[in-house]
Amino acid sequence: MNQDIYIVIEHLRGQVADISYVMLAAARDLAHNTSGKVVAILLGHNSDHLAKNLAADEVLYANHLALTDFTSFSYQLVLSDLISKHLPRAVLLGHTSIGTDVANSLSVHLQIPLVSSVRNFTSNGKFVSQICGGKLMAEGDLPAPSVIATLVPGGYKPEHGQSTQPPRITPVDLPAMEELRVSLINYVEPEAGDVDISKEALLIAVGRGIQNQDNIILAEELSQALGGVVCASRPVVDQGWLPISRLVGKSGKAVKPKIYLAIGISGAPEHAEAIIGSDVIIAINTDPAAPIFNIAKYGTTADLFDLVPLLTEKVQQIKNS
């Protein structure tokens, strides 16, 4: 048992994911409380160069051909072996499509409690999780002696998890990498789509509040009048009302337009994290408690079905005059 904080570094196709740096910053915060070290775990194949800017006291590096790309099964084999040998105070993983694929199985396999959706740790070492679409925060004591936590972005700046001093890298012994029951077949590139929403300056975004496909035209008309592009949150794309190339969020694009006009979007964390880089967010949502108002500069609870057509008409009048 030790007081160190371990972070599982996420990387995809040669790029360290931002959440890894967020976790390193969080780990530093937590290690301050436990008087332990910040130890990064890097799994890969010939990928030690990815460790160079990690703000960690040490990097445990697992190098194997079977770790070239992430798969839940191979990661779990290596991580359970490593964590059971070291038993750190806490192991942090991303609350992402990589981190959550292994955090749960580690919790069960190693009988270590798991807390999910952690946004930050308090100065006295409690965890704070963000739940119910960002509408509630849940705080609690970190289970002892060890805990596994999955982290969401928002609580720490990624640059605080970066360092110009390369950390010490320690290769680790690996368990037998056999009978892998999960394998990567190939990556499928995203559809190019007609526009790249991550490069647009004015985005008109629609969410669940738009109610049905026929109403998408309200956003398209406003977008056309203003000279912007229509994009959407997850429920709209899942319904097939707009193509996946227009998806803003965790599995879609992160955007940073000059203006992001969110229509009928609640602002769940998966969406909020992808629009936080926008210069100005304007939100239209009838729910005054919608989390989108916590990140928007301007907001209104007017009914979009009253407001948007009127707005389009006035914009058209100004453009035509």
Q: Is 226 in the site for another protein (CB under 8 A)?
A: yes
Q: Which residue has the tokens 């931002």?
A: 18
Buried b (16+ CB within 10 A) or exposed e, 238-276: eeebbebbbbbbbebbbbbbebbbbbbbbbbbbbbbbbe
Q: Is 176 in the site for another protein (CB under 8 A)?
A: no
Nearer of residues 44 and 235 to another protein, judged by Cβ: 235
Please, what is the minimum distance in Å from the beta carbon of residue 164 to another protein?
26
For residues 171 and 63, is the Cβ–Cβ distance under 8 A? Answer: yes
Please, what is the minimum distance in Å from the beta carbon of residue 166 to another protein?
26
Please, what is the minimum distance in Å from the beta carbon of residue 184 to another protein?
6
Nearer of residues 10 and 58 to another protein, judged by Cβ: 10
Pick out residues in 183-222 that bind another protein (CB under 8 A): 183-191, 202
Pairing, β 136-141 against β 126-131: antiparallel
Q: Is the dihedral of CA 127, 130, 135, 138 positive or negative?
A: negative
Site string for another protein, 234-263 (x = CB under 8 A): xx--xxx---xx-x--xxxxx---xx----
Number of amino acids touching another protein (CB under 8 A): 99
Interface pick for another protein out of 71, 146, 215, 233 (rule CB under 8 A): 71
Nearer of residues 113 and 277 to another protein, judged by Cβ: 113
Nearest to 117 by CA among 102, 141, 101, 100: 100
Q: Is 161 in the site for another protein (CB under 8 A)?
A: no
Q: Is 139 in the site for another protein (CB under 8 A)?
A: yes
Nearer of residues 175 and 190 to another protein, judged by Cβ: 190
Pick out residues in 73-92 that bind another protein (CB under 8 A): 73
Please, what is the minimum distance in Å from the beta carbon of residue 39 to another protein?
22
Nearest to 88 by CA among 29, 148, 130, 138: 148
Instruction: Please provide the distance, in angstroms rounded to a whole number, between the alpha carbons at the two ends of the chain.
Output: 73
Residue 302 tokens, joined:
């007017």
Tell me how crowded residue 289 is: count the other CB atoms within 10 A of its CB.
10
Helix (H, G, I), strand (E, B) or coil at 50: helix
Tell me which DSSP letter residue 210 carries.
G
For residues 256 and 278, is the Cβ–Cβ distance under 8 A? Answer: yes
**Where on the phi/psi map is residue 40: left (φ > 0), alpha (ψ -120 to 50), or beta?**
beta
Interface pick for another protein out of 1, 195, 217, 310 (rule CB under 8 A): 310
Nearer of residues 38 and 284 to another protein, judged by Cβ: 284
Q: Is 173 in the site for another protein (CB under 8 A)?
A: no
Pick out residues in 33-62 that bind another protein (CB under 8 A): none
Please, what is the minimum distance in Å from the beta carbon of residue 305 to another protein?
9
Judged by CB under 8 A, which stretch of 1-9, 33-41, 42-50, 106-114 contacts another protein?
Answer: 106-114
Please, what is the minimum distance in Å from the beta carbon of residue 30 to another protein?
15
